[in-house]
Structure 1
Amino acid sequence: MKNKAPQLAIGGLIAASFSSLLAAQATQKPLTVFNTVEVSASRIEQTAQKDTRSIDSINRDQLDEIQPTSVADALKFEANVTMAGGPIAGNQSVNIRGLEGNKVLQVIDGSRVNTNFSHRPSYFLDPALLKSINVVKGPVSSLWGSGAIAGVVSQQTLSADDLIKTEGTPGGLIKAGFNNNGDKLTATAAIAGKNNAFSWLAAASYLDSDTMEQGNGDTLFGAETENLTALVKLDWQLNDSSRIGLNYRTADTDGHPPVVGSAEEQLNDADNLIDRETTDEHISLNYHYNPASKWLQLDANLYQNDTRIEERNLNDGKDISDIETLGFSLTNQAVFGQLNLLAGVDGYEDTLNTDRPDNGDGRPNPPDNAKTTTVGAFVYGDYAITSSVVLEAGVRYDSFESKAAGFDNSDEAALSPAIAARWQASEWAALSLRYDEAFRAPDVYELFMDGIHFSFYPGGPSNIFVANPELDPETSNNIELKSEFSFSDIIGQDKVVIVASVFENKVDDFIQLSVNVPEDMPFTCFIPGMGTGCAGTSTSENIAKAQLQGFEVAASYQLDALTASLSYGQTRGKDEDTDEYLAGIPADKWVATLDYGFWSIDTKVGVKAIKTSNQDKTPSDDTQGPYKGITTVDFYASWEPSQKSLEGVKIDLNVANAFDQNYRNAWASVYQPGRSVKISAQYRF
């Protein structure tokens, strides 16, 4: 039986804190209301889509409070956004409204990230170097092209302006943290300067984690990780209208994750871990030309991403995968009276190189030196018909080609239109209706994978991959209704904000891996060396028509130093042809947050609770479910002294999964970490 003392102590502390809250005479201090959206994915920000889309935003203060282990972990409190990839931070990714993986576009500092390895992670940025994360829910191909069927996860790294207090004087931060679950140590340092037209920033973070513990006391294997991330930014204001910038980022990770990588069907077994070394490198050159003209606001970006993963597999073979992306974008925003117009062209080439030595164990064979080239152009405009009605419309055209040696080329094109309207019905109510079409081009793994998928036993009957260069892109059409309500001064200087969205997203030509295994095999298949292909074939096919429907509602209440919020998200997904439930659809989720600022002692305390329903809506071939609903509670506190002698000091405490629940998320087979007490201290100068 577990010791109940920690739960009772924490519960008593919170009860005492909120009893004091009722009697406290606190001085009001500015708070960030949960629904405040600071969208810095420039294409959204430059159009009226920032108002008609469902967008969740996590700012720097919230990141300090959560102390997330990954980008996905930072987003787990958002409605209809869940963490995919299992409990190991290095394998985690983001699920938006039931879609994940290569159906969610990742953008960092305005540059798209196309890293996509089969059964391998794609999120490498340490949250310690982020100032915000924005999640755009729903298809966004009209602005970004391929890959945004589910939405966009946009990450913004620290900039010089975030650290500098006085121009001409360097500013920075030093931060250290510890998590008792896994003896995880973190350290972050950043320094920046600005003098006249030139600014610069240099930052680095370090992480070292051991194995963790699950809620039932069992060891969670695979969490052992060492990570070093560095960031450099240079900006030069050439003149009043021109600015040039250089952005360099690199991350090196050495870990021992489960053999299946980022897939959900993992095993929590010390003998089922591999060695993985990951190097992720990015460099971009940006140019901004914004003269005193409303019709010319030009942004140009040239970038290169290179991600290399080296793995030592269970048979001691070394697998190497390397994706290099070379891309550009050129956009211009023009304002003609009530018409705001954003237009642009962009393109990128992804090159995948792999090395999988054949040790005789029978392994998949990803394509080597495979390339995907994409060029697109778009125009998007919004027009204010009246002071209360704004119309939007836009379209994007993309042409893309994929090729690999020994296979036929795959050539496709796609058109992505969008239209929306927003009506500010009153000072306190607004309604938005939008329609979007989007697409995702098949990746080279889906097009060109061959080799052995699996064997019954080493040297025995095997199932082989069959390439399919004729795959069509996935396409989707989404309709969404959004409502916003805001009320002030109800029982004092308070504020209530309610935001709700209803959506239906239909995805046609859904790409799935079809695995066909014959019921009977001839005896010759069991002769050593004769069983290749006897266990059938696996090939990617356009076979499913997915229908995803759902809604989300979020409400916040703020009175002086008290903030409370409650959200609910629900998504349903089915194959329209078979009426089967789709895998990967998140469980219904409630999230409640309550925090209060004791400004007389420079302290804010809060609690976040997640409650999910049972997920029993699973396809007939699912072997892991049904999945039991969960309830987890996190407590947090921040102390930021106002004394002059301690200016710049901040201490954050977070108790994640405070009651040590032993649980797993829907669609995962391995249970999450148990109670984690995280503390960090930082000094800004």
Structure 2
Amino acid sequence: MNKQLTLIASSLVMAFSSPSLFAQDSVSQFDEIVVSGSRVDKTNQDQTRTVAKISSEELDEMQVNSVANAVRFIPNVSVAGGNVASNQSINIRGLEGNKVLQIIDGNRQNAQFEHRPSYFLDPSLIRDIEVVKGPISSLYGSGAIGGIVIQNTIIADDLVDNSGFGGKVKTGYQSNGNVVSTVGAIANKQNNVDWLIAGSYQDSGVMEQGNGYKLYGTEAINKTGLAKFNWQFTDSQSVGLDYRISDYNGRPPVVGSSESLEFKDNLIDRTSSDQNITFKYAYNPESKLIDSSVRIYRNDTDIKELGSGRTEKDISSITTNGFSVTNTSNLDRYQIFIGADGYEDKLDTKRPTTTAGRPVPPDGAKTRTLGGFAHVNYSLLETLDLDAGLRYDTFKSEAKGYEGNSEDAWSPSIGANWQVTEWMAWSLRYDEAFRSASTSELYMDGTHFAMGPITNVFEPNPNLKPEKAHNIELKGTFNFENILGDDELLLTASAFQNKVKDFINLDVTVPNRNDMIACMMANRGSGDGCGGTSRSDNIDNAKLQGFEVVAQYRYNRLNTLLSYGQTRGKDDKTGEWLSNIPADKWVAQVDYGIWEIDTKVGTRAIFANTQDRLPKDDKEGSYDSYELVDFYATWEPTSRLEGLTVDFTVANAFDENYRTPWTQVYEPGRSYKISAQYQF
């Protein structure tokens, strides 16, 4: 605790060492709870749900290399998968991987492979990130039992105010790993047409952790391209076409959270390509009944890997073809939002025929999902708003040689928001959500891992039931103004309990030594399968509960933030702790500026507690506490150099050598980052 107090004090000393403070009027810390461009916003559920938003300005200040690292300052949200950006995913309130749904520009991103990447976007091309915590299948369907991560890429309006031509160029450097990045974008708005073309390039070298050890798996080259076209061809109708591609070429570890990165022999060669094309149509006549949109999209994700000692590549490809149709009606005190969406995922895999002892995912497996939903908002009283929603989904998975898996699910939700006074509001909501089992969970075969000549093998389980979440959440919001003068204080607090029935868990069974020897003798010396089995099974109930508190205070030109998040997870039947539950975490932030030199400076700090609540079979914990402090500064001249922005960041300023819970590898040490951007 003394170390934490010292770090907080050092941050505050920095904040008050300047003779004058400022805060940009157009940007407020308090905007983080506002959601735009999502179904949550269309149904006003940001009033009753816990939502965090990261703006493009904050992304520039942090200068992060991945989407996962951008959200780590949010309470009860953490990075999963280790320190290599291409292996990372996001954990929300103890649920991660395919239990958290990813949305990019309004479309589902269904690429989910074991130990392989699913977050591909370069943060430099993102205009904002929205994290919605808690189950939300009533609007988004399967996969959203932990929450959703929404990424919105830049649009022409970000580069052109009214009409004409505009663009930006940006270059950056990071000392740890000698990371060099370049970004370029151009856009045009003319009459009823706008378009945008953008691209980014990043070259990362070998990074070092806090104790100076090398992290070889961080070498990579990332390239991202983005193109958008929109045409308002009548007063009420518009069409659009979007295209996005992300290419990655690097040498990460096979399993980012369990392989040592101090030795090159633990690495593989991996190339990843993720592409999306989307057609959009909107019909918005002057009618309270009709505000419609249609989306048709296709995602293609291809991952190729070549491990040490192998000559043939592992190939994993998933293609998603999907659509969505929605409409909003505003009828005085009623708002009605209805829609339907569906998609088909096709998984194709190829594994080396000359190398034994490898997992064998299903080749040619398909999943088809179709769902429809309706959501109603109703202002019962001037101070009391109600919302209710219901969604029905049907889905089917199949693979050659296996029994098909067909299920359906209802996902109801209900919420209430009571504005007690001008400064106090309370909300209460209940949600049910589901996640259908992935084809890998249903049909995975082959070898999981080897212990010399003895192997542990996967057992398919095509009878898996979908996971079903039942979540209740209470939230309070308190907003005070003019307490000491030109100031405001916003407090938000929420408590939740999420019970997940038929929780899907990979059950790894390893027999004792004598049984393994007896198995080899019975198999005439072959150890195949003598190391036990790995099988995805439904466990009765997982119970996750916790709370979070966020305090934001602005005084004149000074902004501060302090938050705390806590999650607990247990098997509700046995009482055993669950894995992947994040550590309790404090986050502190202070920023201010000097108008005379057009500069903003600030600091962010994370104080994570020890995580020693572990399952009985966990051999890696406990996980030590750590303190992580970043300093940042932004210079944005308003005179002769208008349009220029320079960001400087000292990440992990005190060179902390730390690892996050449920990983073996350590995070990068201190790094100096600088970027310069010019917008014209």
Q: TM-score range by the shorter chain?
A: over 0.9
Residue pairs, 1:538-577, within 5 angstroms? 538-577=534-573
Q: Provide the rounded CA distance (Å) in 1 between the counterparts of 2:656 and 2:540.
A: 37
Aligned residues: 671
Q: What residue is the counterpart of 2:224 in the other structure? A: 229
Contact preservation (8 Å) 2:226, 2:244: yes
Secondary structure of the equivalent of 1:73? helix
Give the 5 Å matches for 1:450-461. 450-457=445-452, 460-461=453-454
Relative distance call for 1:463 and 1:288 in structure 2 (3 A) is same
Give yes or no for contact 1:552–1:567 (8 Å, CA) kept in 2.
Answer: yes
Aligned counterpart, 1:384: 379
Matched, 1:617 2:613: yes
Q: Judging changes above 3 Å, is the alpha-carbon distance between structure 1 residues 230 and 544 closer, same or farther for their aligned structure 2 residues?
A: same
User: Does residue 507 of structure 1 match 2:500?
Assistant: yes
SS in 1 for 2:27: coil
Relative to structure 1, the CA distance from residue 517 to residue 11 in structure 2 (aligned partners, 3 Å threshold; closer, same or farther) is closer
Match of 1:79 in 2: 75
- Kindly provide the amino acid, as one letter, of the partner of residue 675 in structure 1: R
1:490 partnered with 2:486: no
1:263 deviates by: 4.3
Structure 2 contact 228–240 (Cα < 8 Å) conserved: yes
Residue pair 2:543, 2:572 contacting (<8 A) in 1 also: yes
Identity value in percent: 52
Whole-Å separation in 1 of the counterparts to 2:177 and 2:588? 27
Report deviation, 1:360: 3.7
Structure 1 position 14, deviation (Å): 7.9
Find the aligned partners of 1:26 and 1:202 in 2 and give their Cα distance: 34
Match of 1:19?
17
TM-score (norm 2): 0.96
Quote the residue 2:643 is aligned against.
Answer: 648
For 2:63 and 2:631, locate their aligned partners in 1 and report how far apart those are by CA, in whole Å. Answer: 12
Q: Secondary structure at the match of 2:86?
A: helix
- In the TM superposition, 1:286-301 aligns within 5 A as 286-301=280-295
Q: 1:579 & 1:16 partners in 2: Cα distance?
A: 46
| Alignment of 1:424 onto 2:422 | no
Q: Secondary structure at the match of 2:98?
A: helix
Looking at structure 1, the residues matched to 241 and 519 of structure 2 have their Cα atoms a distance apart, in angstroms, of: 62
CA contact (8 A) 1:561 1:598 kept: no
Alpha-carbon distance between aligned partners in 2 of 1:424 and 1:556, rounded to the nearest angstrom:
20
Candidates 351, 356, 377, aligned match of 2:351? 356
Counterpart in the other structure of 2:510: 517
Alignment partners' CA distance in 1, 2:46 and 2:582: 25
- Tell me how far 1:388 sits from its aligned partner: 0.6
Query: Any stretches of 5+ residues in structure 2 without a counterpart?
Result: 1-5
**Structure 1: distance between partners of 2:259 and 2:385:** 47
Write the letter of the residue equivalent to 1:475: K
**Distance verdict in 2 for CA 1:44–1:26, change over 3 Å:** closer
In the alignment, structure 1 residue 126 sits paired with structure 2 residue 122: yes
Aligned to 2:578: 582
Once the two structures are superposed, the pairs formed by residues 132-531 of structure 1 within 5 Å of their partners are 132-167=128-163, 169-260=164-255, 262-264=256-258, 267-316=261-310, 317-457=312-452, 460-519=453-512, 520-523=515-518, 525=520, 530-531=526-527
Shift of residue 597, structure 1, vs aligned partner: 1.4
Do 2:177 and 2:204's aligned partners in 1 also have CA atoms closer than 8 Å?
Answer: yes
Distance in 1, Cα, partners of 2:385 & 2:226: 40
Matched-pair contact (CA < 8 Å) for 1:34–1:565? no
2:21, 2:677 → 1: CA distance? 28
Q: Indicate if the aligned counterparts of 2:11 and 2:590 stay in contact, CA closer than 8 A.
A: no
C-alpha distance in structure 2 between counterparts of 1:524 and 1:380, whole Å: 57
* CA–CA separation in structure 2 for the residues paired with 1:484 and 1:34: 12
Q: Contact between 1:140 and 1:436, CA under 8 Å: does it hold in 2?
A: yes
Q: Residue type matched to 1:20 in 2?
A: S
Alignment partners' CA distance in 2, 1:278 and 1:529:
39
Residue 5 (structure 1) aligns with: none
Question: Whole-Å Cα distance in 2 between the matches of residues 16 and 265 of structure 1?
Answer: 38
Q: Which amino acid aligns with 1:496?
A: L
Q: Relative to structure 1, is the Cα distance of residues 204 and 403 closer, same or farther in structure 2, using a 3 angstrom cutoff?
A: same
Write the deviation string for residues 586-605 of structure 1: whole angstroms up to 9, x where unpaired. Answer: 00000000011111110000
Kept after mapping to 1: 8 A contact 2:23/2:592? no
Change (3 A) 1:413 1:18: same
Tell me if structure 1 keeps the 8 A contact 2:249–2:272.
yes
Which stretch shifts more, 475-484 or 522-531?
522-531
What is the SS of the residue equivalent to 2:218? coil
Please say if residues 452 and 464 of structure 1, whose CA atoms lie closer than 8 Å, have aligned partners that are also in contact. yes
Change (3 A) 1:529 1:326: farther
Consecutive unaligned residues of structure 1, counting only runs of 5 or more, are 1-7
Residue matched to 1:671: 666
Indicate if the aligned counterparts of 2:495 and 2:546 stay in contact, CA closer than 8 A.
Answer: yes
Q: How big is the shift at 1:92?
A: 1.1
The answer to whether the 8 Å contact 2:18/2:594 transfers is: no
- AA aligned to 1:440 is R
Q: Secondary structure at the match of 2:400?
A: coil
Matched, 1:99 2:95: yes
Distance 2:418 2:506 in 1: 43
Deviations 1:366-425 (A, max 9, x none): 000000000000001110011110111111000000000000100000100000100001
TM-score (norm 1): 0.95
What SS class does the counterpart of residue 521 from structure 1 fall into? helix
Displacement of 1:142 in angstroms is 0.1
Q: Classify the secondary structure of the residue corresponding to 1:535.
A: coil
- Provide Cα deviations, 1:549-588, integer angstroms capped at 9, x if missing partner: 0000101110121001100000000011111101010000
The alpha-carbon deviation at position 455 of structure 1 amounts to 2.3
Whole-angstrom distance in 2 between the partners of 1:395 and 1:155 = 25
Per-residue CA deviation, residues 300-359 of structure 1 (Å, 9 max, x unaligned), is 000000000000022314100000000000011111221101111100000000000133
CA distance in 1, matches of 2:272, 2:578: 32
Q: 1:214 & 1:611 partners in 2: Cα distance?
A: 18
> Alpha-carbon deviations, 1:247-271, whole Å to 9, x = none?
10001100100122x4456554221
Deviation, 1:452, is 1.6
Q: Distance in 1 between matches of 2:374 and 2:447?
A: 45
Amino acid at match of 2:299: N
**Shift in Å at residue 521 of structure 1?**
3.0
Output aligned runs, 1:23-34, within 5 Å: 24=20, 29-34=25-30
Match of 1:57 among 34, 41, 53: 53
Are the counterparts in 2 of residues 338 and 384 from structure 1 also a CA contact under 8 Å?
A: yes
In 2, are the aligned partners of 1:258 and 1:268 still within 8 Å (CA)? no
Instruction: Give the direction of change, closer, same or farther, for the CA distance of 1:166–1:241 in structure 2 (3 Å limit).
Output: closer
Letter in 2 for 1:499: T
Shift of residue 667 of structure 1? 1.1
Instruction: Kindly state the Cα deviation for residue 11 of structure 1 after the two structures are TM-superposed.
Output: 9.8
